[in-house]
Amino acid sequence: MSARADVQPFSADQLDALRELANVGVGRAADAFADLLNIPVVLTVPDVRLVEAGAFVRQIIREAGPENEVTAVRQSFTDDIEGEAIVVYYLGDHASLETLVEWVAENGPGSVEAKQELLLEMGNIIVGASIGGFAEQLGLEVSYTPPSIMAYRSRSGSVLERSALPWTYALVTKVLLYVQDKEFGCYLLAFFPEQTINKLRSGIDALLGTA
């Protein structure tokens, strides 16, 4: 179910609240990453924006380069809030999280299957921390399907075709993390139908005391 084109943007106060909620989730994700990778991990305060999905997808393709490779993990969620999340690992102005996987794999299993499993687990952590963080703090229930590899080292222009994404709006979180002074990053695109966006808005307004 796609979001209608008349969704109102979040106010500055609502976006600030979303970032605060996301920041709590990011703290949990940092701990989970550290346990998963067995190395200290620091995550930055996330940048959260509600954007028109097609325009942002085009931006990612420009940043990644339409002929360059990206890896993407896809995961759906449902219950009080519903939608679909896509974690995009790509090389932009920082190293991709996939590069981190390559680095970690030097000291562990190096097969494609092992790397994909690690990418799936990292994607699952990011989605759970972000979407689950929003839901938990707003008193909403959410459940997830297992994550799947949407694309593995595929051309960004083909992976992120707008026609393949049946959503109008996306709540975008840019995730950066630091491991031993190295910077890695990815994008989390959370696609929501209109009713979920409105539930998030109502929950934030209640939190702010403006409902």
Residue whose entry in the numeric block shows the structure tokens 């920082």:
94
Share of the chain above pLDDT 90, in %: 10
For residue 7, is it within any domain? no
pLDDT digits (tens, 9 = 90+) for 20-79: 888 888 788 888 878 877 777 777 777 788 887 777 777 777 776 777 777 889 999 999
For residue 81, is it within any domain? yes
- CB-based burial of residue 29 (10 Å sphere; 0-12 exposed, 13-18 middle, 19+ buried)? buried
For residue 5, is it within any domain? no
- pTM to 2 decimal places: 0.79
Instruction: Read off the pLDDT of each residue in 82-100 and give the average, rounded to a whole number.
Output: 70
For residue 147, is it within any domain? yes
For residue 1, is it within any domain? no
Amino acid at 40: P
- Write out the residue range of the structural domain in which residue 49 sits: 12-208
Greater pLDDT, 160 or 14: 14
For residue 3, is it within any domain? no
Please give the C-alpha separations between residue 81 and each of 23, 36, 77, 134, 138, in angstroms, as whole numbers.
19, 27, 7, 10, 11
Q: Tell me the two tokens of residue 128.
A: 């759970």
What is the number of structural domains in the chain? 1
For residue 128, is it within any domain? yes
pLDDT digits (tens, 9 = 90+) for 109-143: 567 787 788 889 888 988 888 888 888 888 889 99
For residue 160, is it within any domain? yes
CATH code, 17: 3.40.1550.10
Categorize the per-residue pLDDT at 163 as very low, low, confident or very high, splitting at 50, 70 and 90: very low
Residue 165 DSSP SS3: coil
